[in-house]
Structure 1
Amino acid sequence: MIKVGLTGWGDHPDVYSPTSKKTEKLQDYSGHFPVVELDSTFYAIQPERNIRKWIGETPDGFGFITKAYQGMTGHHRGRLPYESEEEMFDLFRLSIGPMIEAGKLPMVLAQYPPWFDCTKENVGTLRRLRALLEGIDVAVEFRHQSWYSEKYREGTLQFLREQNFIHSVCDEPQAGEGSIPFIPVATRKDKTLVRLHGRNTAGWKADGRDDKKWREVRYLYDYNDDELAGILDGVRKIEEQSDQVYVIFNNNSGGHAAENAKRFMKLAGIDPQGPGGRQLDLFGKEEW
């Protein structure tokens, strides 16, 4: 089974009802897609009230692919606002607990930065993450090409299998060592994650120190039908290896994600509505 969704629910005008309020965006979104990537958890460990609010705003069958807090994956700069690594992980686990109880946490996404290369030390870091998040389904996404080099590729995939990690398969610009190839291989039989970042090579290489400009261009891309068909071929290969394939469109710098996702769903023959029961045709018109 293939489940398609987008990164976040707050920046996809195509999926909102004209009469909806700002506070109703998640309800509208869940009428179109069965899953969303929750990225606010990357910037801060969320208070329980936020998590319970989002759970209550979504129907049964909806899922949140929850991004690991940046301090857990080496992105955070400066001193962490926690007394210890254990405290940070414990608070994160408490935060996502209600999602687990509600059956709305397909996985936690641990996305590592481009400087996290394939070394013995970093393999140890992954082992520690696995121990600290024991009992939780975790997808690992790399951003350094060394993990998929000819020398290490099979070892990387085997390590993910042994540690019971979900493989995050990515479509992204091939822009040197800070990007990874599309490797349609599952490391778990039950679920696999596919994230589509677009193919904007210039934007991918943009200087991240100018955070606002970087976010405006990094994921600026509109997939054409041939590209989506090629991705679907890869997703079908993964589907042969894994019961559920979660496909997340992250190419939203220009607002293309929702329309691209709907086109992909049409190509794949997937019912174009979420558990909330709304549809969106290719021209952005909702059908109620």
Structure 2
Amino acid sequence: MIQIGLTGWGDHPDLYQSNSKQKLQDYSAHFPVVELDAMFYAVQPKRNNDKWITETPSDFQFIIKTYQQLTGHLRGDSPFDSLDDAFEAYRVAVRPYKEAGKLGAVLAQYPPWFDCTKENVDTLRQLRDQLEEFDVAIEFRHQSWYEDRYRDKTFDFLREHHFIHSICDEPQSGEGSIPFINEVTAPKALFRFHGRNVAAWQTPVNRKNWREIRYLYDYNSQELNELGKAVEEAGKQAEQTFVLFNNNSGGHAAKNAKKLQQLLDVEFVGLAPKQLDLFGGNE
């Protein structure tokens, strides 16, 4: 089963009904899966999680990013007394999604400085212990995990610890970029398409509009065909394959995702009843 969606539901105006205040509901009329990135910035309160679970169709899936403290991104003070407390709060927030049958996976995206060292391998083991009740995808952002001397060991480790390998398409611009390697390590596969804006990929995160610059990219038909073949290949190995487009800043992600859906001839079932034709007009 191949499910295609976007990273977040708040920045895709083509998907919303006029003056809609129910963006997630409108989104779920088009796609069966979404990445919940709000959890990265703060462990979301029960009222938010209950709302998002309730207002989506019964088969809708969330890929939920880990809270930033859990992957070493946090800069500044933590709202939690300890890392263990942060993990516990995160588990409490995520469990309702699993109980509702709406947890596609937890996504642990590590920072560009998280390289392949014994210490960091131990960190991954600790993450697995803390999140043992969930399906967890690991996304590396340092090339060392894929160097010839480590690549096979990286994938063996992911398989041994039942981690999903996050397969990324992104600009190739040095150590902070990872190669596109179509390796499936678990019953679920996860693709994340970040675009190929090489010039903007190394934009400093302290620049005010860094996110708009970094993810400004429109995949062309040839690129989508190539990515589609990779998705199909992974789909032969995995029971569930999730595809998320993260090239949001220019408004390209939704149309790229729709185009990939057409190329793969995938039909989504169980979407929300409201349906808006992305290319103009109501259905």
Task: Bin the TM-score by the shorter chain.
Answer: over 0.9
Q: How many residues align?
A: 283
Cα distance in 2 for residues equivalent to 1:15 and 1:268 = 21
Q: Please report how far the alpha carbon of residue 85 of structure 1 lies from its aligned counterpart in structure 2 after TM superposition.
A: 0.9
Cα distance in 2 for residues equivalent to 1:208 and 1:284 = 34
Q: Which amino acid aligns with 2:57?
A: P
Cα distance in 1 for residues equivalent to 2:197 and 2:215 = 7
Q: Please report how far the alpha carbon of residue 218 of structure 1 lies from its aligned counterpart in structure 2 after TM superposition.
A: 0.6
Residue 256 (str. 1) matches residue 241 (str. 2): no
Q: Please report how far the alpha carbon of residue 21 of structure 1 lies from its aligned counterpart in structure 2 after TM superposition.
A: 2.5
Q: Which amino acid aligns with 1:7?
A: T
What's the CA shift string for 1:49-92, capped at 9, x where partnerless? 10000011101110110000000001111232211111000000
Q: Please report how far the alpha carbon of residue 277 of structure 1 lies from its aligned counterpart in structure 2 after TM superposition.
A: 4.3
Instruction: Specify which of 188, 193, 196 is matched with residue 196 of structure 1.
Output: 193
> Which residue does 2:38 correspond to in 1?
40
Larger mean CA deviation between 272-281 and 35-44 belongs to 272-281
User: Structure 1 residues 280, 266: CA separation in 2 closer, same or farther (over 3 Å shift)?
Assistant: farther
Q: Which amino acid aligns with 1:4?
A: I
Instruction: Specify which of 261, 266, 284 is matched with residue 279 of structure 2.
Output: 284
What's the CA shift string for 1:200-245, capped at 9, x where partnerless? 01111111111x3211101000000000000011111111211111
Q: Please report how far the alpha carbon of residue 278 of structure 1 lies from its aligned counterpart in structure 2 after TM superposition.
A: 5.2
Q: Which amino acid aligns with 2:172?
A: Q
Runs of at least 5 residues in structure 2 that lack an aligned partner in the other structure: none
Residue aligned with 1:216, SS: helix
Q: Please report how far the alpha carbon of residue 287 of structure 1 lies from its aligned counterpart in structure 2 after TM superposition.
A: 3.8
Checking the alignment, whether the CA contact within 8 Å between 1:32 and 1:277 is kept in structure 2 is: no
Cα distance in 2 for residues equivalent to 1:278 and 1:248 = 22
Cα distance in 1 for residues equivalent to 2:115 and 2:279 = 41
Cα distance in 1 for residues equivalent to 2:173 and 2:232 = 25
Instruction: Specify which of 236, 239, 252 is matched with residue 240 of structure 1.
Output: 236
Superposed CA RMSD? 1.3
User: Structure 1 residues 216, 44: CA separation in 2 closer, same or farther (over 3 Å shift)?
Assistant: same
User: Structure 1 residues 280, 233: CA separation in 2 closer, same or farther (over 3 Å shift)?
Assistant: farther
User: Structure 1 residues 79, 179: CA separation in 2 closer, same or farther (over 3 Å shift)?
Assistant: same
Checking the alignment, whether the CA contact within 8 Å between 1:173 and 1:204 is kept in structure 2 is: yes
Runs of at least 5 residues in structure 1 that lack an aligned partner in the other structure: none
Residue aligned with 2:134, SS: coil
Q: Please report how far the alpha carbon of residue 286 of structure 1 lies from its aligned counterpart in structure 2 after TM superposition.
A: 4.9
Checking the alignment, whether the CA contact within 8 Å between 2:57 and 2:270 is kept in structure 1 is: no
Cα distance in 2 for residues equivalent to 1:153 and 1:195 = 19
Q: Which amino acid aligns with 1:201?
A: V
Instruction: Specify which of 64, 67, 72 is matched with residue 66 of structure 1.
Output: 64
Runs ≥4 in structure 1, deviation > 4 angstroms? Answer: 277-281
User: Structure 1 residues 233, 75: CA separation in 2 closer, same or farther (over 3 Å shift)?
Assistant: same
User: Structure 1 residues 263, 156: CA separation in 2 closer, same or farther (over 3 Å shift)?
Assistant: same
Residue aligned with 2:237, SS: coil
Q: TM-score, normalised by structure 2?
A: 0.97
Instruction: Specify which of 202, 205, 208 is matched with residue 202 of structure 2.
Output: 205
Instruction: Specify which of 99, 102, 108 is matched with residue 97 of structure 2.
Output: 99
